[in-house]
Structure 1
């Protein structure tokens, strides 16, 4: 008898290294089961073999319309959603592909691999959304100066948010980031 198992399939995007994974789940009358991160299966599907998780964090978002970002950080990130739906906008801030934007909706059956230097932002589309992300470098307040931020409403970036930003829930910090024209390219170590 064959046993059902989670499967991962990948598609590349217009941003080099930004990968979108579709993930199956096993469902029956009890609910569902899914491997959120299975290193061997993900690497076989296209995840960079060098990606080694050292920290996993959860962002709980109480209601639809919570919007966070754009933040480019000095690590790679694997992003998934445990419950809810999220509209994600990614902005490449690396030299050579600076300014490219990709948007994707993720839910329990879709995940994203985000390479360092690509700014992450998201907007929740459902109440009680649990956004899960694993990184290959520990968060540190001492490295905050290495981050690159861009304003979510910058017309040069041109993201069409499902919930208009004037109706969304944003931190003051995210609301007041400078525009893309003032962002320095993210330096990715060789």
Structure 2
């Protein structure tokens, strides 16, 4: 799928409160492309919170069908794609009326998404050599993993329609063992 150049910078609301899908302007020519992945003044002007990122992470995935998540970390994140394309799936795991709400979309270098803490994040690569990058507003540590909320990628209630069936995808053993929404609801 060719990259769309020249989209205006815009934020779109999603069914999950606080989750914003962002169109990023990408400028390209015969040499390749360029984008401002995060520009504080412009991003806050279109409605993104001033979430104060302190760390930038990149997850490189060499195979199509690599599937990661569903993890709700104790920080906010701004996710974009440096190379490739992913199917993203997010599930609201915060207590309240929107608990269990699901939003899915494809991301490429011309899109980004803002995910507030408590919303489960996951993705599946749709192209080889995909680089998934994200800014977070707290530092990762092994101890912080004790504050994560996890959801099983195959949860029947969330019913995420993964483009590549999970039995044909590359998953970690840990992700296969995460609890279901029904178990999380009873906590």
Match of 1:176 in 2: 177
1:83 aligns with 2:76: no
SS across alignment from 1:162? coil
C-alpha separation in 2, matches of 1:156 and 1:145 = 24
Contact 2:7-2:23 at 8 Å conserved across structures: no
In the superposition, the TM-score normalised over structure 2's length comes to: 0.93
C-alpha separation in 2, matches of 1:7 and 1:33 = 14
Contact 1:52-1:136 at 8 Å conserved across structures: yes
Contact 1:24-1:109 at 8 Å conserved across structures: yes
Match of 2:3 in 1: none
Moved more, 139-148 or 56-65: 139-148
Once the two structures are superposed, residues 41-95 of structure 1 have per-residue CA deviations (whole angstroms, 9 ceiling, x without a partner) of: 111111102x111000000001110000000010000000011000011000111
Contact 1:70-1:174 at 8 Å conserved across structures: yes
- Aligned 1:26-41 pairs, distance under 5 A: 26-41=27-42
Deviating runs (4+, > 2 A) in structure 1?
none
Distance 1:185 1:98, change over 3 A: farther
Which 5+ residue runs of structure 1 have no aligned equivalent? none
C-alpha separation in 2, matches of 1:30 and 1:147 = 41
C-alpha separation in 1, matches of 2:167 and 2:85 = 20
Which 5+ residue runs of structure 2 have no aligned equivalent? 1-5
Match of 2:137 in 1: 136
C-alpha separation in 2, matches of 1:92 and 1:81 = 22
C-alpha separation in 1, matches of 2:186 and 2:42 = 33
C-alpha separation in 1, matches of 2:171 and 2:36 = 31
Contact 2:16-2:103 at 8 Å conserved across structures: yes
Aligned-pair Cα RMSD in Å: 1.6
Match of 2:94 in 1: 94
Deviation (angstroms), 1:183? 1.6
